[in-house]
A and B are shown apart, each in its own frame.
Chain A
Amino acid sequence: MRGALQSLTVLLPTLYMLCAILHGMAFGGVRAPQVSGLRRFVVRATIAVHIAFFWLRGAAVGHFPVADLWTTVSAVALATAFLYAGLARHLKHPGTGGVVLGLVLLLQLLASSFGTVEPVARVGGMGAFQVLHVSTSVLAAAAVLLSGIHGALYLVLFRELRERRFGALFDHLPDLDWLATMTRRSALAGFVGLTIGLNVGLWMAHREQPGQFDYRASEVMLSLILWIHFGVVAFSGVIRGFGARRTSIAATVGLIALLLSPILIFFPGRSFHSGI
């Protein structure tokens, strides 16, 4: 099993790199049916391989496999690729895949580089609520990541249009409306995931550490801020005066906060996740 896990640890970044290259080609205008077919196949195959990787790790430790920092990062990478594949299939535009899967590649590369090949078993395993908390949080992180990426791309394209630059970004990025829709829909998915994950987490914290739980813990504060922040992004369509551009700015700020969150959550002392 160790051999298989080691192989998959190396194979996954390679596969995500292939996905990013094929999507990058689509961004560059290569959209022949054969290439599109290959692109879809490689993304699905990569997701399947990644699921197999987690299944093997779960089988090795005997519980839900996402229990340490770098496995969580890898899970966020998988969830992002999975959500993107679903959304791209629904919205039929490969133009942002290169950027999304490029970020997924980066996450998986970090996870493969710094994570341990041998999965570490958690004492006492993981209960159903823990699994629910982790999986919804991971999905939420992936969704807000997508929201942030599309928000940032909206701002990039808006700037190109405003500056009257009609180059590759103008040609190959999806239209502003599409990017705004993706930003809001992903934020909504993230908001729902965060709502569940956060509430389950808080409930568990109160149950497992009666009287000791501190709301000032960095991950709680950050999660609450992100929850409110992406709630505003998700429902910005009905907030008067909060147009697509402001939504995109907010989503981009959220993305930066999310990318910085591991530093806040896992490294300072005042965190109950820092021991993971």
Chain B
Amino acid sequence: MGRPRPNAELRRVEHRAWRIALVASVLAVCALGSIWSARPAVAEPTEFEVKAALVYNFAKFVDWPAAAFASPSAPLVVGIVGDDDVAEALEATLRNKILDGHPVQVRRVKGSDEARVCQLLYVATSERKHAGDLLQGLRGANVLTVSDIADFARHGGQINFVLENQRVRFVINPANADSAGLHISAKLLALARTVGERR
């Protein structure tokens, strides 16, 4: 297959020049980038910071039965099972908060026995395979269950997040919340998508 081979020397010089130009531009972009990101600029909020702030709002707009708390100033325990980015953001977001006189306490839990003691349980996406079991173990407990697992509210959970056009939305299953003895304020329901049978 005889194609004339180009002048080897010329080709080598050409390609060395291209390589140098490419590497120089990559270095320039890195340098610019590091200068730019060192500025105390207000970066856009991350999806996980927004979801963590929404979890705080869920706790704000949900009423627990009186029996759920030992006393009016007992802590509101937020349990986290598993690990994901929202779980990490929750710890920063809920630090030192007080809701309705209850100081908020964040606790890492394993399994439904430890979770029953909480008022709010966040189920991380790492627990996708085991969520069903966990929810079974929470039957009858007054726990608000929130997760970032897709379709969580359709399969036994109460609230899950969805992303729509780069904005965070949430889906509530009012029937599941009812079975847990919780009352969700109309304001929260109005902003949510609802799933599940209606009573």
Bound pair (A, B): no
